[in-house]
A and B are shown apart, each in its own frame.
Chain A
Amino acid sequence: MRRYVLIGGGVASIAALEAIRQVDSAGDVLLIGDESHGYYSRPGLAFYLTGELPEAYLFPMKNQDYLRLNVRRVRAKAVRIHPGEHTVQLQDGRLVPYDRLLVAVGAEAQMAKVPGIELDGVIKLDSLDDARTILQKARRGRTAVVVGGGITALEIVEGLVARRVRTHYFLRGERYWSNVLDETEARIVEERLREEGVKIHYHTELEAILGKGGSVTGVRTKDGTVIPCDLVGVAIGIRPRLELAQASGIQVERGVQVSETLQTNVEDVFAAGDIAQVYDPHTGKSVLDSLWGPAREQGYAAGSNMAGFTTAYRKPVAFNVTRLANLTTTIIGTVGHGEDSDVTGIVRGDSETWRQLPDAIAAQADFDINRLRLLVGVNTLLGAIVMGDQTLSRPLQHLITQGADITPIRQRLLQPGAALVDVVADFWTAWRGKVAVPA
C-alpha cells in the first residue's frame, strides 16, 4: 500500500487528494496542515470581510467528504524532509514516512520593514485568523491606514469601509496597480474608492507606525506627516513559504522549481500551488502566481503523478476575476509591464505573467464605468481587461487561452473608435460555432 503525505491544507493539497483517489482507492493518505481551521476558501475571505458571506460558508468540505476521500488529517508543522529515509520531520520531532510527498505550503504575506510593524493593530489578510482579527478590531468610528497594492490591499480597504472604518490608502506612486492596470483603469478604481469615502494619498510612503502601550496610535509618512489611526493594513506582497524546501535540499529560486509533472529535483517529492515556480509556455519564463485555478490544476496533476498516472501540467493563460472597488474585473493573459512600487513581488490572486507584455497594440473601449482593453498581437489576442459589464469575460478567456486566430478582425479592432464589444462578440459567436465539435 502506497503512503502519500500532503503538506499544506489549501486547494492544491485537496485537489491532489481527489486525484490520488481517482487512481488509488487503497493508498494511505495523510494531510498535514498547520492551520487550525482546515480547508477553507481563501478568496471567500473578501466577502466574509464585507459581510456578504457568513463564516460557516467558507468551508467547502464537510466531515463526510473527508471520510469519503479516506484521508487522515493532522494539524502539525513539517520542518524538514529526509529524502534518503523518505520521512518528514514534524516540529514536535515525530517522523512521518512517505512513498510520495507533496509540498503545497503556499505563500505568506511579507510585512513592511518599518518601525512599529509589531504593534497591536497592524493587520494583514493571509488567513481566516487574519480576517477574524480585522473584523474584531474594525469598529465604527475607528481610523485605518492601508499600504500596499494589488487585490489584497483593496480587499482590506473594502472590508474596513464596509465596517464603517475611516480609511486612508497610501500609494507610493501616482496611481493604483500601475504594472497591471493602465491609467484609465486605475483612475476608475481610485474614483470609486473616493466615492466610498476612502482618502487616497498619492506619492506617500510609510516611514513608521507609531504606538503607545503596544498598540497603534498613528503613522508617520516619509515627508513627516503624522496621521492618527487605530489600524494599519499591510498588503505589500507575498512570498512562497520556502523554509521547508530549503531545509530539505529541494531546489528553489523564487519558488520551488518543478518539472512538467510537478516533480522537484528530489525523488518522489512534488510541489504545487503558490509555492511552485512553473514554466509558462506563453512567456517562455518560469513564473510564480497566486491563483486558485492553477493551484487546483497543479495539485490535481501532482496527485495523479504521485499515484502513478503520468500527467503533464501545461500552465494555462493566467486569469482571474476579482472585484476592484466593487467593480467586477477580469484580467487575462499579459496586460501590463514594469514594476509597481506599492508591491514587492506578487500579491494574492496575482500572476507574474500579467506584467510580461511583449509588443502588442492596445485597443480600448469605454462606456461609463465599463471598460474593455484588448492587447492585440500579430494574429492572436495576448491579453484583456474587462471592467464592469462581464459579457465578454468568458468569450475572451477562451479566445485568448486557445490562441484563436484573430486575423479576420484585427484591422477592425485597431481602428480608432472601433465598436470593440460588437466586433469581439460577433467573432466569438462565429469562432465558437466553427471550432466546436458537435456532441
Chain B
Amino acid sequence: MGGIDMNFKALFQQESTRRKAMAQGYVVAESSRCVQCGICSYNCPLSIDVRRHAWMGVPVKDSHCLTCGECVARCPRGVLSFENTNLFQVERPIPGERR
C-alpha cells in the first residue's frame, strides 16, 4: 500500500507542477529560429496566430491561450518554449538573443 501511496503523491505533485506552469507561464519564441511554416498556428486548438508571435519574437499573451503546449511540441524547429513569467523571478536573457 505504501508504494501506491507514494505513486499517488508523485502523480499529484506532477499535476501541481504542470498547473503552476500553466498559471504562471507563457509560450515564448526565439524569433531567429522561425521559418514561418505555420505548423504552430495550424495546431493551436483556439486558432491563435502563434506564428505571428514567433515572427515578432513576442510571448503569446493572448488571454485565450490555454498553454496547452501543442504549438511548443509541434514546432519542428524548437522555436517555442514555456517560460515562467512569475513577476517575482528575475529573468536573465541570453546576451544577443532577440526576444
Chains A and B belong together in one complex: yes
State which of B55, B77, B96 has its C-beta within 8 Å of the C-beta of A60. B55
Question: With A321-B76, A328-B76 known to touch, is A436 a contact of B95 (CB < 8 Å)?
Answer: yes
Q: Decide if A89 is an interface residue (CB 8 Å cutoff).
A: no
A401 to B55, CA, bound (A): 20
1/0 contact string of A52-94 vs chain B (CB within 8 Å): 1110011110000000000000000000000000000000000
Contact with B along A31-52 (1 / 0, CB 8 A): 0000000000111100100001
Bound complex: CA of A402 vs CA of B36, how far in Å?
25
Query: Which B residues touch A437, using CB under 8 A?
Result: 92-93, 95
- B42 (CB) vs chain A CBs: closest residue: A57
The CA of A60 and the CA of B42, in the complex, are separated in Å by 11
Residues in A neighbouring B66, C-beta threshold 8 A: none
Is A286's CB within 8 Å of the partner chain B? no
Across the interface, which residues of A come within 8 angstroms of B55, CB to CB? 60
Q: Which B residues are in CB contact (< 8 Å) with A401?
A: 96
Is there an interface contact between B39 and A47, defined as CB atoms closer than 8 Å? yes
| Residue contact B38 to A321, C-beta cutoff 8 Å | no
Interface pair A44/B92, CB less than 8 Å apart: no
Residues of B close to A297: CB separation below 8 A: 32
Q: Which residues of B contact A47 (CB under 8 A)?
A: 37-39, 76
The answer to whether A270 has its CB under 8 Å from any CB of chain B is no
User: A436, B78: Cβ atoms under 8 Å?
Assistant: no
Contact B93 A439 (CB under 8 A): yes
On whether A393 and B78 interact (CB within 8 A), knowing A401-B96, A438-B90, the answer reads yes
Does B5 make an interface contact (CB < 8 A)? no
Q: How far is the CA of A297 from the CA of B93 in the complex (A)?
A: 20
* Cβ-defined partner of A321 (8 Å) among B52, B78, B91, B95: B78
- With CB as the reference atom, state the residue of chain B lying closest to A393: B78
Give the residue name and chain of the B residue nearest to A39 (CB): B36
User: B-facing mask of A395-439, CB < 8 A → 1, else 0?
Assistant: 001100110000000000000000000000000000011011111
- Whether A432 contacts B35 by the Cβ 8 Å rule is no
Q: Find B36's partner among A41, A321, A397, A438 (CB 8 Å cutoff).
A: A41
The residues of A that contact B35 with a CB separation of less than 8 Å are: 41-44, 292-293
Q: B38-51: contact bitstring with A at CB < 8 Å (1 yes, 0 no)?
A: 11011000000001
Across the two chains, which residue of chain A brings its CB closest to B40? A57
A215 within 8 A of B: no
For the complex, would chain B's binding face be called helix, strand, loop or mixed by DSSP majority?
loop
Q: Is the CB of A43 within 8 A of B92?
A: no
* A320-341 with Cβ < 8 A to chain B: 321, 323, 328, 330
Q: When chains A and B are docked, how far (Å) is the Cα of A393 from the Cα of B78?
A: 8
Report chain A residues within 8 Å CB of B97.
Answer: 398
Q: Mark B15-32, 1 if CB is under 8 A from A, else 0.
A: 000000000000000101
CA–CA, A387 and B92, complex, Å: 28
Interface size on B, residues (CB 8 A): 24
Residues 42-74 of B at the A interface (beta carbon under 8 Å): 42, 51-52, 55
- Cβ–Cβ contact A293 & B39, under 8 A: no
Question: Is A390 an interface position by the 8 A CB rule?
Answer: yes
Point out the residues of chain B lying under 8 angstroms from A436, CB to CB.
92-95
Determine whether the beta carbon of A44 is less than 8 Å from that of B33. no
Task: Please measure, in the bound complex, the distance between the C-alpha atom of A436 and the C-alpha atom of B76, giving whole angstroms.
Answer: 27
- Which residues in chain A, 356-402, are within 8 Å of chain B measured between CB atoms? 390, 393-394, 397-398, 401-402
Nearest B residue to A297, CB-CB: B32
**Taking A321-B76, A436-B94 as contacts, is the C-beta distance between A44 and B36 under 8 angstroms?**
yes
Question: Which residues of chain A are near B39, meaning CB under 8 Å?
Answer: 44, 47, 52-53, 57
The residues of A that contact B33 with a CB separation of less than 8 Å are: 293, 321, 394, 397
Q: Once the chains are docked, how many angstroms separate the CA of A394 from the CA of B75?
A: 14
Cβ contact within 8 Å between B38 and A57? yes
CB contact list, A282-328 vs B, under 8 A:
292-293, 297, 321, 323, 328
Please report the C-alpha to C-alpha distance between residue A323 and residue B35 in the assembled complex, in whole angstroms: 13
Chain A residues within an 8 Å CB radius of B76: 47, 321, 323, 328
Q: Is the CB of A402 within 8 A of B95?
A: yes
A residues bordering B, Cβ < 8 Å? 11, 41-44, 47, 52-54, 57-60, 292-293, 297, 321, 323, 328, 330, 390, 393-394, 397-398, 401-402, 432-433, 435-439
Starting from the known contacts A41-B38, A53-B37, A58-B38, 19 additional A-B residue pairs (CB-CB under 8 Å) come to A11-B36, A41-B35, A43-B37, A44-B39, A47-B38, A47-B39, A57-B39, A57-B41, A60-B36, A60-B51, A293-B33, A321-B76, A323-B76, A330-B78, A394-B78, A398-B94, A433-B92, A438-B92, A439-B91
Enumerate the 10 nearest inter-chain pairs by beta-carbon distance, A residue then B residue, closest first.
Answer: A44-B37, A57-B38, A43-B35, A436-B92, A321-B77, A292-B35, A41-B36, A60-B36, A57-B42, A439-B91
24 intermolecular pairs with C-beta atoms under 8 Å apart = A41-B37, A43-B37, A44-B38, A44-B39, A47-B37, A47-B38, A47-B39, A53-B38, A53-B42, A54-B42, A57-B41, A57-B42, A60-B36, A60-B52, A321-B76, A321-B78, A328-B78, A390-B78, A394-B30, A397-B33, A402-B95, A432-B94, A436-B92, A437-B92
